[in-house]
């Protein structure tokens, strides 16, 4: 499994609009990408920083997304963030998420 972390400085007065954009436009776009598994977004308590983690089957799928659809994501966020987004990539060493998801389905 592979992970991408995207961080951005938010315009604090636009945090609600940022979250709506993530939910209504960006997550549906991610779901259409080959190898996409999951995404979660964290907002700092002061509302000034956002961290979005996306999880992919493998690095090749994440790289394809980065070269293609990620530009659309950054365009969608224009006006809601200050400066540019920062991206980091990781190989997932371990995760309990799949166990949590399986337990929720079984319940």
Q: Write down the domain spans for the chain.
A: 2-106
**How many helices (H) and strands (E) would you count in the chain?**
5, 4
Could you tell me the pTM of the whole model? 0.85
- Per-residue pLDDT tens digits for 58-95: 999 999 999 999 999 999 999 999 999 999 999 888 87
Please give the average per-residue pLDDT across 19-32, as a whole number: 96
DSSP run (H or E) holding 67: helix 59-67
Give the whole-angstrom CA distance, residue 41 versus residue 47: 12
Instruction: Spell out the CATH class of 2-106.
Output: alpha beta
């Amino acid at each position: 499994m592979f992970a991408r972390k995207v961080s951005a400085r938010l315009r604090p007065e636009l945090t609600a609009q940022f979250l709506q954009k993530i939910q209504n436009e960006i997550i549906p776009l991610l779901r259409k990408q080959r190898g996409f598994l999951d995404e979660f977004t964290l907002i700092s308590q002061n509302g000034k920083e956002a961290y979005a983690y996306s999880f992919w089957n493998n690095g090749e799928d994440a790289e394809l997304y980065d070269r293609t659809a990620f530009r659309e994501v950054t365009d969608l966020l224009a006006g809601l963030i200050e400066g540019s987004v920062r991206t980091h990539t990781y190989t997932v060493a371990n995760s309990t998420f799949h166990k949590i998801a399986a337990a929720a389905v079984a319940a």
